Amino acid sequence: MFSALNIKTLMQGTLYGDPSLRVDTIRPIHSPLVGGLSIVMTPGDLLHIPTTGADIIIGPEEII
């Protein structure tokens, strides 16, 4: 299980939100299931952010 802060540190990224939030599942960005982490891989994935059930969303800075 990883916290948002752990993921931010590993990815050397920026964290917005609760650093103590914990996830143990990776889900597709378009998954309606609640929880887990989703990865934005393309600009088109941004369209799924409003409807994703993911608790944490990560992606490259140039896309997000």
Show me where the domains of the chain are located: 2-58
What band does 17 get if pLDDT is binned at 50, 70 and 90?
confident
pLDDT average, residue stretch 36-54: 94
Mean pLDDT (whole number) for 38-52? 94
Q: What is the mean pLDDT of residues 2-20?
A: 91
At 62 the pLDDT is 87
Mark 40-61 as b/e (b = at least 16 C-beta within 10 Å): beeeebeebeeebebbbbbbee
Check whether 16 has a pLDDT greater than 90: no
Token pair of 30 as six digits? 């378009």
Dist. CA 16–CA 61, nearest whole Å = 13
